[in-house]
Amino acid sequence: MGNWIINHGLSAFILVVWMGINIFLFVYYYLFYDQGPQFEYTRELLGSALPWARAPAAVLNFNCMLILLPVCRNLLSLLRGSFICCGRTMRKQLDKNLTFHKLVAYMIALMTAVHTVAHLLNVEWYTNSFQGRYGPLAGNLSMLDDSRELNTTYLNPIRSNSTTPTLFVFTTIAGLTGVVITLALILMITSSMEVIRRSYFEVFWYTHHLFIIFFAGLVFHVLTDFNWLNPLLQTWMWVIGPMIIYLCERLLRFIRYMQPVSYRKVSLHGLYCSSEPQYSCSIVIRPSKVLELQLVKPGFKMEVGQYVFLNCPAISQLEWHPFTMTSAPEEDFFSVHIRSVGDWTEKLIKMVENLPEGGQGPMMAVDGPFGTASEDVFDYEVSMLVGAGIGVTPFASILKSIWYKFKDSDPKLRTNRIYFYWLCRETYAFEWFADLLQVLEKETEERGMRDFLTYKLYLTGWDQSHVNHAMVHFDKDTDIITGLKQKTHYGRPNWDKEFEQVRQENPSSVVGTFLCGPQALAKDLEKKCVKYSDVDPRKTKFYFNKENF
């Protein structure tokens, strides 16, 4: 239990507080409308459907207030910088922003379903009451008006025998806006499914911007939905603050979109050069369909492991895609490695492939940088870095930064040891990163710090021919695939063995475990961190961190 608290205690506490507020709001407003004497006449017309409609509305207001905040990237980066004094555990919560965003969305979907069903029953019962089907009392109450200054309303909004529930829903502002925001919510949630988001990112991207229609419809819906019964249910009071913050967020993104971005020359791999000598372009295309862009932007400052959003107007003026930077803060440019995994990346790579010799790359806009879990890597005495495929990118930034710190003999380097694991399916995926590892390998040996960096590369998509080839050349000093002294492993790591080794070699250290990779691997590593952490403060503890964007 103690090991679980080390990794999940604060997250669980935040979740319990959030759920507690939701339960409190639901119960409070349910009882308020179910037992309040001021609603006695309305309950005669609607029965229990009234509290079942109003209680979810209160929960919806609270969660609609929260839903935009986890996606305000600049706000989160600001908070991350402000939380330095609060310790790594508090900052870790900011890395779960998308998980919290999804939880809030699920709550909104659930409460919307309850609210919608209850209102459909309300309209049905209003109609029956007006037609006298529930007795003379309900019929008389349906004629009762409620005069408020210059406005006259009726206890029963149904005013004609010809009005049907369907007609009422599609001919009133409350009904129409309810239909619009419900359809928008359904489209946003269904397009956010993992299979659609990964395979058809453009569908997810455009559909998710229906949130503009959702919030606009929500405000109009509440203003016309008889919420004068309780001012606290006025949605605009709940969402105005987050909406202003989000508008400021989008304004900042637009300003960054307008700032010029240039390509920088990398002579070692240069295939294309810019017409401007001071901001020349070098684009490296590997057989593995990984595109490397080295960019320059005035005033741009980054930290290790951070990411940016890229926009290529020639492909789409609206689409922004996140990429972790592979450069180090010590360099005077920033770089990203882009793998071909979807329509947008395929179009970008094809545009670059078709550039004439000496041609300038396509115009790019950059938003960022934004903070991630990897920023905290140097706050741990020992770090375990696990990358899967292109997920190695944040660790390229970290390892490059370490090389510069070695070069400059930086006394601020607190980290004593780094364990690096890279899992790839194909051999050519190792190509672009092997050079950096060779430099680090040489640097640590020359400084007598061979134990500082322990790295293991795993080829997971291997076959028997790979194994036979490796056995023939096993006696060579360097690996036949990477050219490194550390031989490539075949298959997947035995994580129990790896964690046990780290624990034995660092018996009283705080170990930060960082992953950029699939969710299945994240669950496995998270369990290992809990399993191998010790409650005794004098012994080894593992803290799990995962890249999320």
**For residue 458, pLDDT beyond 90:** no
Same domain, 270 and 251: no
Of 30-34, 282-286, 330-334, 349-353, minimum mean pLDDT range: 282-286
Query: Rounded to the nearest 5°, which phi and psi values hold at 217?
Result: -65, -35
* 424 domain residue, yes or no: yes
Q: pLDDT band for position 23 (50/70/90)? A: very high
Q: How many residues does the chain have?
A: 549
Q: Which of 4-8, 85-89, 90-94, 365-369 has the highest mean predicted lDDT (pLDDT)?
A: 365-369
What is the per-residue pLDDT for 269? 33
What is the per-residue pLDDT for 456? 85
Element at 107 (helix H, strand E): helix 97-130
Same domain, 156 and 251: yes
What is the per-residue pLDDT for 478? 62
What residues contact residue 159 under an 8 Å CB cut-off, 6+ apart?
Answer: 130
> Helices H, strands E: what count in the chain?
19, 15
Same domain, 386 and 519: yes
Same domain, 387 and 504: yes
User: d(Cα 144, Cα 194) in Å, to the nearest integer?
Assistant: 52
**In DSSP terms, which residues pair with 543 in a beta bridge?**
512
Interval 185-199: pLDDT, tens: 999 999 988 888 877
How many CA atoms within 13 Å lie on the side-chain side of 188?
Answer: 21
For 46, 137, 365, the CA distances from 142, given in Å and listed in that order, are 11, 9, 60
Q: pLDDT band for position 446 (50/70/90)? A: confident
Same domain, 513 and 540: yes
What's the CATH code of the domain at 309?
A: 2.40.30.10
What is the per-residue pLDDT for 469? 54
Q: pLDDT band for position 549 (50/70/90)? A: low
Query: Rounded to the nearest 5°, which phi and psi values hold at 72?
Result: -85, 90
Interval 98-117: pLDDT, tens: 889 999 999 999 999 999 88
What pairing do the DSSP bridges indicate for beta strands 382-388 and 417-424?
parallel
User: d(Cα 292, Cα 326) in Å, to the nearest integer?
Assistant: 9
477 or 165, higher pLDDT: 165
Q: pLDDT band for position 280 (50/70/90)? A: very low
* 530 domain residue, yes or no: yes
What is the per-residue pLDDT for 228? 43
Element at 79 (helix H, strand E): helix 73-82
Of 47-61, 170-184, 209-223, 413-427, minimum mean pLDDT range: 413-427
For 109, 176, 211, 225, the CA distances from 185, given in Å and listed in that order, are 7, 14, 8, 19
In the structure encoding, which two tokens stand for residue 373, read together? 């879990």
* 266 domain residue, yes or no: yes
Amino acid occupying residue 401: S
* 30 domain residue, yes or no: yes
- Number of separate domains in the chain: 3
Q: Which domain holds residue 401?
A: 373-546
Same domain, 102 and 154: yes
What residues contact residue 16 under an 8 Å CB cut-off, 6+ apart?
Answer: none
Q: What is the mean pLDDT of residues 453-474?
A: 66
* Residue where a domain stops, chosen among 332, 367, 402: 367
* 139 domain residue, yes or no: yes
Q: What is the mean pLDDT of residues 265-280?
A: 36
Element at 154 (helix H, strand E): strand 151-154
User: d(Cα 319, Cα 311) in Å, to the nearest integer?
Assistant: 6
Q: What is the mean pLDDT of residues 221-244?
A: 68
User: Could you tell me which of 511, 494, 375, 379 has the C-alpha nearest to residue 3?
Assistant: 511
Same domain, 378 and 516: yes
Q: pLDDT band for position 227 (50/70/90)? A: very low
What is the per-residue pLDDT for 167? 72
**For residue 21, pLDDT beyond 90:** yes
Same domain, 351 and 444: no
Of 261-270, 436-445, 480-489, minimum mean pLDDT range: 261-270
Same domain, 20 and 127: yes
What is the per-residue pLDDT for 287? 44
Sheet containing strand 489-490, edge to edge, reads: 489-490, 453-459, 417-424, 382-388, 510-516, 541-546
Report the mean per-residue pLDDT for the chain.
77
* Residue where a domain stops, chosen among 304, 337, 367: 367
What is the per-residue pLDDT for 275? 35
* Residue where a domain stops, chosen among 331, 352, 367: 367
What is the per-residue pLDDT for 276? 37
Same domain, 407 and 517: yes
**For residue 464, pLDDT beyond 80:** no
For 7, 70, 84, 173, 410, the CA distances from 87, given in Å and listed in that order, are 14, 20, 6, 50, 23
Share of the chain above pLDDT 90, in %: 17
Do the Cβ atoms of 381 and 416 come closer than 8 Å?
yes
* 51 domain residue, yes or no: yes
What is the per-residue pLDDT for 426? 65
**For residue 71, pLDDT beyond 50:** yes
Residue keyed to tokens 């919420």:
227
What residues contact residue 47 under an 8 Å CB cut-off, 6+ apart?
Answer: 125
Residues 7, 11, 13: CA angle, nearest 5 degrees: 115
Q: pLDDT band for position 41 (50/70/90)? A: low
**For residue 425, pLDDT beyond 70:** yes
**For residue 1, pLDDT beyond 50:** yes
Same domain, 319 and 463: no
In the structure encoding, which two tokens stand for residue 18, read together? 């959030």
Same domain, 349 and 388: no
* 218 domain residue, yes or no: no
* 429 domain residue, yes or no: yes
Residue keyed to tokens 């679980």:
4
